[in-house]
Amino acid sequence: MERQLIQLKVNGEERDVVVSPNETLVEVLRDRLELTGTKMGCGEGACGTCTVLLDGKPVRSCLTLAVEVQGQEIVTIEGLAEGAELHPVQEAFMEHGAIQCGFCSPGMILTGKALLDENPHPTEEGVRRAISGVVCRCTGYAKIVEAIMAAADAL
């Protein structure tokens, strides 16, 4: 397969990267751009740990080809904070103990951010529905829901 040069806009920065046509976005983010906050879980789109924001919407980066996202805005967990100031969702996750092993946290936080961007005042049921595609094996989801609801109040 012939490799090609593509330009990705990741966390507000234009990045040139040489990829194979079949390389997924999670592979490019982690292996080429060294943005390892995006986790690789199942590789089949079932666990949601690889979730990033694509034009503000959560997507599974393990199912997304890197060549398909040229010209779109990609936000990873590394791009959510502004300098040393955490995003309110990140802050709420810390304050409410919503992080245990941390493997699902980037996907949960980015999904929470996307939800609050779309609906600043979600119900608890709405939060649970939004994060249902990201598997957490540690927390039982209660603290995660609590954190996202608290972030909604903070925003």
Q: What is the pLDDT of residue 153?
A: 94
The answer to whether 70 and 7 have CB atoms below 8 angstroms apart is yes
CATH of the domain at 29: 3.10.20.30
The answer to whether 122 and 130 have CB atoms below 8 angstroms apart is yes
92 shares its domain with 146: yes
27 shares its domain with 93: no
Q: What is the pLDDT of residue 39?
A: 97
Q: What is the pLDDT of residue 65?
A: 98
47 shares its domain with 102: no
d(CA 95, CA 32): 33
Taking the CA atoms of residue 145, residue 120, residue 26 and residue 8 in that order, the dihedral angle to the nearest 10 degrees is: -170
Q: Where are the alpha helices (DSSP H) in 5-141?
A: 25-27, 88-95, 105-118, 124-131
73 shares its domain with 11: yes
Number of domains in the chain: 2
Q: Which of 103, 96, 106, 75 is nearest to 154 (CA)?
A: 96
d(CA 125, CA 37): 27
CATH of the domain at 125: 1.10.150.120
Q: What is the pLDDT of residue 62?
A: 98
Give the Cβ contact number of residue 14 at 10 Å. Answer: 8
**Stated pTM of the model:** 0.96
Q: What is the pLDDT of residue 2?
A: 93
User: In the block, which residue shows the tokens 């806009």?
Assistant: 9
The angle that helices 142-154 and 105-118 make with each other, rounded to 10 degrees, is: 40
- Containing structural domain, residue 20: 4-79
45 shares its domain with 95: no
pLDDT, averaged per 10 consecutive residues of the chain (155 residues), comes to 94 97 98 97 96 98 98 97 95 95 96 98 98 91 97 94
Distances (CA, A) of 53 to 68, 96, 114, 129, 137: 14, 23, 8, 17, 22
